[in-house]
Structure 1
Amino acid sequence: MMSTYQTENSKLLWMIIGGISVVVVLFLAVQWFLAQKDQQPTATPSEPVAAKTIASAQPETVVTNDEVITATNDVAAPIQLVEESIVKAPLPTNDSLAKEEIAKLDDIHQQLQDQQHELKQQSSDVDTLLKLKEDQIKLLEAQIAAQSKS
C-alpha cells in the first residue's frame, strides 16, 4: 500500500511535469507562429518585383512576391523584371530618402546582374552537359553496334 505522502508526491510530480509540458508546447507554438509571420511576403507597392526565369524545353514556374510566371521556349512577350511605376517614379526631394532610394535601386541592379551571371553560367553548364551526354550516347551506340556484330 502506498502511503498518503507518496500519493501526494506522485500527484505533485505529475502536475509539475504537466506544467512544464504546457510551457514547452506554448513556447514552441509561439516560435512557430513567429516563423510563419516572418515568412509572409511584406512587399510594398514601391518595391520592384524581380523574377529569375530562363526559357527551357520544359515549362518552369517562378514564384515572385506578387505573381507566378511560367516561361517556355514559345514565350513571345518579353519578361518584365521591374515594374514600370518604379522606373518612372520621381526621386524623393528629401536627401536622405533619395539616398535610400538610390541605394535600394543599386541593390536591385546588383541582384539583377548577379541573376544574369548565374543564368549565363547555368546556360553554359547545360550546354556542356548536353555535349557530354551526346558523346556518351555515341559511345553507347558504338558499343551496342560492336556487340551486335560479335
Structure 2
Amino acid sequence: MTQTQRENSHLIWWIAGGLFSIVLAIIVFFQMNTPPRTEHQTLQIPKTENQSKLKKESAQPTPTPPTTTSELKTLVNDDLLKQQIPTSPSLAKEEMTKLDDIQKQLHDQANTLKDQHIDAEQLIKLKEEQIKLLESQMQEHNKI
C-alpha cells in the first residue's frame, strides 16, 4: 500500500466520523427542544355553556379503587350504576363504548370460567379412573 492510499483511507474515516458526529448532534438538539408528548393532546376550543357544565360534572371526585381483598373480588363497582348519564352525545357515546368493552370482558371471563370448569370436571373423571386402575393393580399384586 502506498503512502497516498493510506492517507486517503484515514481521510475517509475522518470524514465519516465527522458526519456521524454532526448527525448525532442534530438529533440530540431536536430531541432536547421538542416538548414532551402527552398521551392525549386536546385541541383548544373556546368554552361554551355546555362545556363548562360538563367540566363541572366531570370535576366530581371519581370513586376510589377498592383496597381490601373482599372488595377486589367484585367485577363491577356499584358506584358505576349510580353515576349520572352524560348530557353530551359524544360523551354518552364514549361511555357506551367503555361499557360495551367492560361487558365484552365480562363475557369473555365467563366463557373462560365455563371452559375451565369443564376441563376440571374432565380431569376429575380421569383421576377417578386412574385411581380405580391403581386400586385394581394393587389388588392383583397383593394376590400374587
Structure 1 segments of 4 or more deviating over 2 A?
Answer: 1-13, 66-70, 76-79, 83-87
Q: Aligned residue pairs: how many?
A: 105
Aligned to 1:57: none
Shift in Å at residue 103 of structure 1? Answer: 2.0
1:116-150 CA-to-partner distances (Å, cap 9, x unmatched) read: 12101201210111111111111012112212312
Which residue identity lines up with residue 129 of structure 2 in the other structure? D
Cα 1:148–1:97 shift into 2, 3 Å: same
**Alignment map for 1:46-85 (pairs within 5 Å):** 79-85=73-79
Cα 1:146–1:94 shift into 2, 3 Å: same
Contact 2:66 2:72 in 1 (8 A): no
Please tell me the root mean square deviation across aligned C-alpha atoms, in Å: 4.0
CA distance in 1, matches of 2:101, 2:2: 72
CA distance in 2, matches of 1:144, 1:12: 84
Shift in Å at residue 85 of structure 1? Answer: 2.9
Percent identical among aligned pairs is: 42
Which residue identity lines up with residue 141 of structure 2 in the other structure? Q
Aligned to 1:124: 118
Which residue identity lines up with residue 113 of structure 1 in the other structure? H
TM-score of the superposed pair, with normalisation by structure 2 = 0.52
Structure exhibiting the larger radius of gyration computed from Cα positions: 2
List runs of 5+ in structure 2 lacking aligned partners: 25-60
Cα 1:68–1:3 shift into 2, 3 Å: farther
Cα 1:148–1:11 shift into 2, 3 Å: farther
**Alignment map for 1:14-93 (pairs within 5 Å):** 79-93=73-87
Structure 1 or 2: more helix by fraction: 2
Structure 1 or 2: more strand by fraction: 1
